Amino acid sequence: MSETKRAAIVTGGSRGIGQAVCLALAEQGVNVVVNYAGSAAAAEETAALCREKGVEAIAVQASVADAAQVDALFEKAVETFGKVDILVNNAGITKDNLIVRISEEDFDAVLDTNLKGAFLCCKKAARIMMRQRWGRIVNISSVVGLRGNPGQTNYSASKAGVIGLTKSLARELSSRHVTVNAVAPGFIDTDMTRVLPEAARTAILSQVPLGTFGQPEDVARAVAFFAAEESGYLTGQVLCVDGGMAM
């Protein structure tokens, strides 16, 4: 058990933005729990990359939409590191379609993972961090939670909900020196955006004042900033990492 270094749980940490966040926290000397839902190999690879930076890291499978699995995730983190200092709610899914074509099942699936999952993890983290009288919670929202996007009513609603969750929880936990902030990425160069047709990519870039896709590391740096020891006077904030889209 390592109790001297800070310890973090990063949900959806096996690839893309989640992997970049894990590595950015490891760079700061934070031990990391890499949560994943499906790909054990990718999660183990991320954990290995973190360990190369001189920290301890483990991979733990859990669906954040399932309360019992969230309980087990946090129990494993505490068993391994003795505490949870930082929570990054990054796990998320999309099931895009126009509202007249979105099934109730697809709406529920997106809300269950993106919003309910963040709630379940925040609830577990809050109990631990309030006792510690120190903590950092960083929720990954999205620029579409602020400005909307056609074909993403379910996803946009879930990410707008994450912002409301962030601001209310920031008020609840502030007296215990626990900060709660959100990062709202724009269009980031990940597996999800690389498969888009060229016409769709061009249309997206026309909405970005800086004219380029962001990189996972751009988001990770913002998360690491909120998670840092020096960021204790920042809470309830939403930082857009979006090339200017939300202006």
CB distance 45 to 52 below 8 Å = no
Q: Cα dist. 17→143, 168, 209 in Å?
A: 15, 25, 21
The catalytically annotated residue of 36, 81, 155, 226 is 155
**Has 155 been annotated as catalytic?**
yes
The residues that are catalytic are 155
